[in-house]
A = this chain, B = another copy of it.
Amino acid sequence: MVGKLEDVAAASGVSRSTVSRVLNDGPVSEVTRRRVLAAMEQTGYRPNLAARTLASGRSGVVGVVIHVPAEVLFQDVFFSGLFHGISEGLAERGAGMMLWLANLPKEQTLERILGMRLFDGLLVTADTLDDPLVDGLVASDLPTVLIGHRHKDRSASYVDIHNERAAEQVVDHLVGLGRRRIGHIAGRRGGTSAEERLTGYRRAMQRAGLPTEGLVVRGDYLTRSGIDGAAQLVEAGVDAIFAASDTMAVGALAELARRGIRVPDEIAVAGFDDVAEAAQADPPLTTMRQDTELLGLEAAHTLFRLLGDPDAVPQRVILPTELIIRQSTVGSMDSRRTRERDGTRKRDGTRT
């Protein structure tokens, strides 16, 4: 017997309206509030979410759409931190979290998420260029915050890092070290972050007046592709490798070690992400750090900001990244850090 609002009203001698006000922090005199609260306690009352949602149009539940297979979710450390941050951020506000992975066909997922009409808002990962699910979600009238963003999401709300600029910085570092034939192991074609890092690489190389012809190979952010990529780049005669993910960079290190190539003396290696393994690698990996947990946390906060103000303009949050210099590029020199100058956190509310 959980009881209903009416019972509490009866037990405390007030009307339903007043109990409802207590529930929703409405204007109630302190005496009454106390009395109602006591009655709730005593009757063990719990408001019914379905009824509240129906009547108010708000549920306190956020849909989290990470449209990757469950295996990938657990395999890729990026999601681990992200998910952690999200669940932390939502918990702060006592919001429930409903998770949607890639179990169903995309259209069906879209249909169910929107059809359910249970969510106050949505948190959605957006890394695939052509993703109808994300398109549909963004197009819907549900407040949505993307994690990552495609070009076409420019006018949506999102949290992201500046992939292109960060990649440029890595390459600049390599160039600054005197490297000339810098190869890039890129991520999956059609992956936004991958493409932007590639663009950043290209731009920095061009700026330095260096060729990129034959120096770009495709990977998929996972170890295996780092191994293969390194093998190819060695054949291409590189003196440095910039992998678009640490996981690939670690693979590259393994391949170079197998071939007896000294890092960084013969070939310098840099990654992206600063996952735990980066510091443990042999030699420790120079990498561009991004705080995926913060990304998730910030996504949640951004959504709440959106929900708090019905006519809020699209929110865009770019989180800073940080170049972590380790022995895989500078050898036995002291490792040191540089803080990315442009990557300072900023919010902008401008419509595009």
List chain A positions with a Cβ less than 8 A from chain B. Answer: 2, 46-51, 53-54, 59, 61, 70-71, 73-75, 77, 79-80, 83-84, 87-88, 90-91, 94, 96-99, 101, 103-104, 111-112, 114-118
Contact B70 A87 (CB under 8 A): yes
Contacts of A49 in B (CB 8 A): 50, 115-118
Q: Is the CB of B48 within 8 A of A54?
A: yes
Number of copies: 2
Q: Are A87 and B112 in contact (CB under 8 A)?
A: no
> How far, in Å, is A163 (CB) from chain B's closest CB?
23
In angstroms, Cα B108 to Cα A94, docked, is 10
A70-B83, A74-B84, A83-B74 given; A46·B99 CB < 8 A: no
Which single residue of chain B is at the shortest CB-CB distance from A75? B80
B115 lies within 8 A of A103 (CB): no
**Is the CB–CB distance between A97 and B99 below 8 Å?**
yes
**Complex Cα spacing A89 to B243, Å:** 37
B84 and A71 within 8 A (CB): yes
A117 CB contacts on chain B under 8 angstroms: 2, 46, 48-50
Determine whether the beta carbon of B112 is less than 8 Å from that of A96.
Answer: yes
Q: Does the CB pair A103–B91 fall under 8 Å? A: yes
Measured CA separation A70–B87 after assembly (Å): 8
Chain B's closest residue to A96 (CB) is B98
* Chain B positions within 8 Å of A94 at CB level: 104, 112
Q: Which residues of B contact A46 (CB under 8 A)?
A: 111, 114-115, 117
In the complex, what distance in Å separates the CA atom of A66 from the CA atom of B115? Answer: 27
Min Cβ gap A227→B in Å is: 15
> Nearest B residue to A80 by beta-carbon distance?
B74
Q: Which residues of B contact A83 (CB under 8 A)?
A: 70, 73-74
Shortest A84–chain B CB gap in Å is 4
Cβ A104 vs Cβ B91 within 8 A:
yes
Q: Given that A71-B84, A74-B84, A98-B98 are contacting pairs, would A50 and B61 also be in contact in the complex, using a CB cutoff of 8 Å?
A: no
